[in-house]
Amino acid sequence: MTGKARVLVTGTGAITPVGADAPSTWSALLAGKSGVRLLQEDWAPGLPVHVAAGLQVDPASLLPRTEARRLDRGEQLAILGAREAWRDAGAPDVEPERLAVVIGTGTGGVLTTLGQDDLFERSGMRRLSPFAVPMLMANGPAAWVSMDLGAKGGARTTVSACASGAEALSLGMDLIRAGRVDVVVAGGVEACLHPFTLAAFAQMKALSTASEDPESVSRPFDVRRSGFVMGEGAAMFVLEREGFARARRARAHGVLAGGAVGSSAGHITASDADGQAAAITLALRDADIAPRDIGVVHAHATSTESGDLAEAEAIGWAVGTHAAVTATKSMTGHMMGASGAVGALAAVLALRDGSVPPTRNLDEQDPRVELDVVRGESRTGRWDAALANSFGFGGHNVSLVFTRDRGGVQ
């Protein structure tokens, strides 16, 4: 069972700043709706950052109280997204040992860590939650989802900053190709909206401090971009070995045809066009896809000048300038470890539905960005292959290639 067995995407789930599930998220992205809002929390005054892309629904309210109280916010998101994806896939009847979970996160249970530390400083150790340790563990989301689904084929966690969710999908694909499992629940999650994290990123000059019109702050590829907007959310997928999925007559949203995980080994935070282009090229080779066959690109495009320009250069080198490019962080903000998974969601659904979301706030495209970036309204068409990029601090470069499902075992 070794080799490049095809991997189908049979289930999707999401909870994002623009939707409480995958269908509503997708509809909002196609409509160009923004989830960026003014910070209204009592801790917001005094911060240099005034906007963020928080969730429109409290995930704790969607879970039984006894379950929610023992989970970090990120773990709540992972459980909700995974359950939705599992239902969407038709709850595959798979042996526990042939089912694995891979979930990426950039910061793990940082809200629990910071909150419990504050409580310890104020009130001492007796007030700490007995659930604090499993709530703050970076592997918590994968562990809880594995227990929820009874997955005994492995519960793995990818931690590669903003590329974590995309790397989780790549690893899930590799597990299926290697014949170790038949089904993988994979994705990314992040919940880190907190004064400490916002202040820390602001100190790096990475976040936009604009606030006059919150929905217009996140501006990938635009000449007036001023930094990214921090967001939170999750996206989960059910990946299946094609033979297993066809045997149970599962519907497929698309095919995860290939991927590559590379490292620039240069600067800890700076973008590197060479490393990004190398990851894209390897992903295309892995999928046996020619650059000209890529019709859609979901760009990482965080809305920083250096990052946007490096990626535009990498896409131009490795793919060309013919593909329809979208940057949905213009609507969702940057969901850190979840962003790569949400980008993958947009890529696979764009192929399925023949529609590419617009890049919001692209009023004047930077002339140095020589790409066909979709703006204004969603673009319709018929494309066979899509690329989704995800890059993270530390030089992590991940590219995924999706293709339309044509049916039949190949």
Secondary structure (3-state) at 275: helix
Secondary structure (3-state) at 258: strand
Q: Locate 242 and state its tokens.
A: 């094609």
Which amino acid appears at position 389 of this protein? N
Angle in degrees, CA 157, 160, 163, rounded to 5:
105
Task: Decide if 372 contacts 321 (C-beta within 8 A).
Answer: yes
Task: Decide if 396 contacts 337 (C-beta within 8 A).
Answer: no
Catalytic residue among 50, 162, 194, 396: 162
Q: Where are the alpha helices (DSSP H) in 110-155?
A: 110-123, 132-136, 140-149
Q: Locate 256 and state its tokens.
A: 């995860």
In terms of phi and psi (left: phi > 0; alpha: psi -120 to 50; beta: otherwise), the region of 27 is alpha
Task: Decide if 316 contacts 237 (C-beta within 8 A).
Answer: no
- Report the alpha-carbon distance of residue 246 to residue 383 in Å, rounded: 23
Q: Locate 3 and state its tokens.
A: 């080799």
Nearest to 231 by CA among 255, 260, 207: 207
Catalytic residue among 194, 298, 300, 396: 300
Task: Decide if 168 contacts 337 (C-beta within 8 A).
Answer: no
Catalytic residue among 50, 194, 253, 334: 334
Phi, psi of 88 (to 5 degrees): -60, -35
Angle in degrees, CA 364, 274, 398, rounded to 5:
85
Residue with the two structure tokens 């890059």: 391
Give the strand pairing for 379-380 and 372-373. unpaired
For every residue of 360-400, DSSP letters joined together read: TT-SSB-TT--SEE-BSS-EE---SEEEEEEEETTTEEEEE
Q: How far is CA 317 from CA 91, 270, 280, 326, 404, in A?
A: 41, 19, 10, 17, 24
Secondary structure (3-state) at 234: strand
Our answer to whether residue 192 is catalytic in this structure is no
- Report the alpha-carbon distance of residue 325 to residue 328 in Å, rounded: 10
Q: Which residues are catalytic?
A: 162, 300, 334
